[in-house]
A and B are shown apart, each in its own frame.
Chain A
């Protein structure tokens, strides 16, 4: 993909206004009069700038790469067809006596044991699970389906930026002096964030520093600034963002970070990422969007949700998010945070020949926060798992466009009314998922 026009011009004015000053004087410099209008390409609808209000949430967006099996993440134990299709990889009913039995969430759905780490968030009413959701596009290709979800519109090659990137580009910064508004805790910038002004992929914020001799560090940084100021996007923005961010991140003591409520993050890449996210959020440096990827969900074989690979993946997911809930969401801090968790598609209702599941369609997704109307599993006309009710006779149908959920959060919790910018050509139906 080439950097198309609307990526090239991304937030140029912000940089012209901010970067040199921010770089020279550090994060404390305040910058007024940030202009947005010219950064939007002609194809975008008219933009109304979002209010910068203290009631706005910070968002943490998690993408489960590989097509997570939503029928295992949140088990429809009431539907006998689930057990018929999953002869050897089902999660036992919660009313059974099996030691591996599921934990009922209501009369219809249950968590597998591996997801128990999220129960406190659910019980507190902060965790919403949406089921039979996903993309309107039937692609079973990982890469197409991920792309369609991340850009927020399927099959439109002209939309190259991510939905979260466009949200940030069409809203005022939470803090106008923030050198970094968004980061991906990954080696490359996930497409979800492409197009965001002041966004960087930072795999480990604790080690984000310019190497070499301390004595010449400032001199070398200034040299690099002068070199990259004339470079082309998206490299220019990345370089200037990096230079503006190094000092900021040095100020945060990641290794000495103390969690609240005795929360313990798993010592996994994902757990460490969420711990870093918590430290960044509590440092109140203006970071307002964090993207985290978790892979390992393409469970074609030996899915093993009770004791093997998917069990471990789910436990990592749930314990990390559970720690984040205790540490951040449930900590009573004034700044509220919403977490969303999506995956590109669900998996076949019936297991395949190798104790796994192949690519499917409908899935579940999660939203977590004090301002999420949680503690429930939201379904709309559960389509059923009988063969005649399945898409292509194989897959749970999608009854809720996942963008409806995200759009409601963007408008109500991120304070951005520009839903037609964030999700072009989609008129979302709001379902009261936010409070």
Chain B
């Protein structure tokens, strides 16, 4: 595994004004034709003012060679945990084709996972009228379990990574909206996770769950509620420093009056709740309409969404958040510029932005990120190749275990989503160790972690090697491999001790980073 202390190369410098799209994507030929010497030149230091900033004349430096290390880094960023199967896939497809594969989830056969989810969590596909009649807490448990199961075992790993990202970006606290979140998950998050950002934003703005969560359903006429209007700009589009004012919050609020819910989970514009008077949003006049305009009043809100989507701050904000999620906590400004340009050029096409972010050079320059507890759970399930034959243990994981770890799904109350910050998550390390202990001790029941296949060479070194190969995809640093072996040698080697050694390996600092 990647040792986080390792600097992983300096930032890529010289990212000049965006070249044409074709130059951005590393071609196979270019990648293979360039040796390590050039790769080393790419990682020039970030220049202090006036100091040897060597800019190539017109385009960014060539990409470094796609080594095994780059492919490994790609898999780390694209999946919820490296597995031998995934490494074999990237080895056979190569960098670009693997990314293509992951960016077209509909072309990936995921029938086994679909079958598990539809047979065990059949309620989730019901229409609103059916969902409404169910036990709402039980429904939340179904949604959490199905989400975790897909994230851990789906072959559409990048898609699932993006589902998690957007679920935080457009965070909704389930207990406030109940079944409406199930509809939002289907029709906003999963429908558009790898689609176009404008489609996703519009879907979210029309989502009954979002309108209820942020109180827009309670914003009528002159009796307004600013909650959604503010977060729409602060968290969903422009960002807090994106150039809007308190007056804009008030004006956008008025534009969105009457956006509410009908029936069981349908969007409805209610002209009787709309403020038809003139508004000014971000300096743009939105003229008054006669109240007789009726249903046409919805256009005020649609205009706001258009203005927000066209605003350069939105492209930058989404670019920053996406780069942070997929690459590193502090993405270099030049990369954010590139991704924002891609947003502008492609109409907010999410796969195109991902291609701009996940280049070999960027991957080589990015330091490791700390796994959120949910990501640790997923990585542990994947690495141990846990076999799942029922739902009882998954219930325990999504309820007791994730709650203990501080990250129960769909239960972050505030609209900013779970923090993607090492400072927030670093402290709960003991809970992580205890989770690793828990998962490695699943020897019976409907989720089983099998360790007998780690014991074919039944010596301390043999078992440590097997853990390295099967669980760590042969990426264990030698010092960790030694420590695992030493632990095994420190007592009678039996299944219990092997499970403890496996739990320690997953508890190690190295496994907490990706």
Question: Does residue B491 face the partner (Cβ distance < 8 Å to A)?
Answer: yes
Q: Which residue of B lies closest to A234 (CB)?
A: B426
Provided the pairs A200-B427, A242-B430 are in contact, do residues A295 and B414 lie with their beta carbons within 8 angstroms?
A: yes
Question: Does residue A112 face the partner (Cβ distance < 8 Å to B)?
Answer: no
Binds A, one of B160-168, B223-231, B313-321: B223-231
Residue in A144, A201, A224 whose beta carbon sits within 8 Å of that of B240 in the complex: A144
A135-170 residues at the B interface, CB under 8 angstroms: 138-144, 160
A1/B430 in contact, CB under 8 A: no
Per the bound structure, the CA–CA distance linking A242 and B423 in Å amounts to: 15
Question: Does residue B419 face the partner (Cβ distance < 8 Å to A)?
Answer: yes
Provided the pairs A219-B490, A239-B429, A300-B227 are in contact, do residues A2 and B5 lie with their beta carbons within 8 angstroms?
A: no
Contact with B along A232-254 (1 / 0, CB 8 A): 10110111001000100000000
B221/A188 in contact, CB under 8 A: no
A242/B225 in contact, CB under 8 A: no
Q: Which residue of B lies closest to A231 (CB)?
A: B509
Interchain Cβ contacts within 8 Å, total number: 159
Contact with A along B416-440 (1 / 0, CB 8 A): 1001011111111110011001100
Query: Which of under 10, 10 to 19, 20 to 34, or 35 or more describes the interface residues of B?
Result: 35 or more
Contact with A along B270-306 (1 / 0, CB 8 A): 0000000000000000000000000000000000000
Question: Does residue A56 face the partner (Cβ distance < 8 Å to B)?
Answer: no
Question: Does residue B336 face the partner (Cβ distance < 8 Å to A)?
Answer: no
B-side contacts of A188, CB under 8 Å: 406, 419, 424-425, 427-428
Cβ distance A33 to chain B, nearest Cβ, rounded Å: 27
Question: Does residue A210 face the partner (Cβ distance < 8 Å to B)?
Answer: yes
Residue in A3, A144, A223, A301 whose beta carbon sits within 8 Å of that of B487 in the complex: A223
Question: Does residue A326 face the partner (Cβ distance < 8 Å to B)?
Answer: no
Residue in B222, B405, B480 whose beta carbon sits within 8 Å of that of A353 in the complex: B222
A-side contacts of B496, CB under 8 Å: 213
B-side contacts of A295, CB under 8 Å: 413-414
A359/B226 in contact, CB under 8 A: yes
Contact with B along A163-199 (1 / 0, CB 8 A): 0000000000000000000001011110100100001
Binds A, one of B52-60, B62-70, B89-97, B500-508: B500-508
Binds A, one of B113-121, B183-191, B212-220, B342-350: B212-220
Residue in B226, B438, B504 whose beta carbon sits within 8 Å of that of A224 in the complex: B504
B423/A140 in contact, CB under 8 A: no
Per the bound structure, the CA–CA distance linking A114 and B480 in Å amounts to: 56
Provided the pairs A140-B246, A300-B218 are in contact, do residues A65 and B414 lie with their beta carbons within 8 angstroms?
A: yes
The tally of residues in A whose CB lies under 8 Å from a CB in B reads 60
Residue in B225, B424, B483 whose beta carbon sits within 8 Å of that of A189 in the complex: B424
Residue among B4, B222, B234 having the largest count of chain A Cβ atoms under 10 Å: B234
B423/A7 in contact, CB under 8 A: yes
B-side contacts of A160, CB under 8 Å: 423
A353/B223 in contact, CB under 8 A: yes
Per the bound structure, the CA–CA distance linking A353 and B503 in Å amounts to: 54
Cβ distance A302 to chain B, nearest Cβ, rounded Å: 8
Residue in B5, B215, B419 whose beta carbon sits within 8 Å of that of A230 in the complex: B5
Per the bound structure, the CA–CA distance linking A423 and B357 in Å amounts to: 38
A353/B218 in contact, CB under 8 A: yes
A231/B425 in contact, CB under 8 A: no
B-side contacts of A235, CB under 8 Å: 4, 370, 422, 426, 429, 509, 512
Question: Does residue B329 face the partner (Cβ distance < 8 Å to A)?
Answer: yes
Residue among A140, A143, A194 having the largest count of chain B Cβ atoms under 10 Å: A143
Question: Does residue B407 face the partner (Cβ distance < 8 Å to A)?
Answer: yes
Question: Does residue A126 face the partner (Cβ distance < 8 Å to B)?
Answer: no
B406/A224 in contact, CB under 8 A: no
Question: Does residue B310 face the partner (Cβ distance < 8 Å to A)?
Answer: no
Per the bound structure, the CA–CA distance linking A122 and B224 in Å amounts to: 37
B509/A227 in contact, CB under 8 A: yes
Cβ distance A337 to chain B, nearest Cβ, rounded Å: 23
A232/B5 in contact, CB under 8 A: yes
Question: Does residue A226 face the partner (Cβ distance < 8 Å to B)?
Answer: yes
Main secondary structure on chain A at its contact with chain B? Answer: loop
B-side contacts of A308, CB under 8 Å: none
B423/A211 in contact, CB under 8 A: no
A-side contacts of B483, CB under 8 Å: 223, 226-227
Per the bound structure, the CA–CA distance linking A186 and B423 in Å amounts to: 13
Per the bound structure, the CA–CA distance linking A409 and B496 in Å amounts to: 53
Per the bound structure, the CA–CA distance linking A354 and B216 in Å amounts to: 10
Question: Does residue B441 face the partner (Cβ distance < 8 Å to A)?
Answer: yes
Contact with B along A260-271 (1 / 0, CB 8 A): 000000000000
Question: Does residue B110 face the partner (Cβ distance < 8 Å to A)?
Answer: no
Per the bound structure, the CA–CA distance linking A157 and B6 in Å amounts to: 25
B-side contacts of A125, CB under 8 Å: none
Q: Which residue of A lies closest to B328 (CB)?
A: A2
A238/B427 in contact, CB under 8 A: yes
A353/B426 in contact, CB under 8 A: no
B-side contacts of A1, CB under 8 Å: 329-330, 421, 423
Residue among A144, A239, A296 having the largest count of chain B Cβ atoms under 10 Å: A239
Question: Does residue A346 face the partner (Cβ distance < 8 Å to B)?
Answer: no
Q: Which residue of A lies closest to B241 (CB)?
A: A144
Cβ distance B295 to chain A, nearest Cβ, rounded Å: 21
Question: Does residue A46 face the partner (Cβ distance < 8 Å to B)?
Answer: no
Cβ distance B11 to chain A, nearest Cβ, rounded Å: 12
A352/B405 in contact, CB under 8 A: no
Interface residues of B (CB under 8 A from A): 4-5, 215, 218-227, 230, 234, 240, 246, 249, 329-330, 370, 405-407, 413-414, 416, 419, 421-430, 433-434, 437-438, 441, 480, 483, 487, 490-491, 496-497, 500, 503-504, 507-509, 512
What would 17 more interface pairs be, CB under 8 Å, given A188-B424, A231-B5? A2-B329, A210-B433, A211-B434, A212-B500, A216-B491, A223-B483, A228-B429, A230-B5, A231-B4, A238-B426, A238-B429, A239-B429, A239-B509, A296-B413, A300-B218, A353-B222, A358-B227
13 cross-chain CB contacts under 8 A: A139-B240, A143-B234, A187-B428, A188-B428, A212-B437, A219-B491, A224-B507, A301-B225, A352-B223, A352-B225, A354-B218, A356-B218, A356-B225
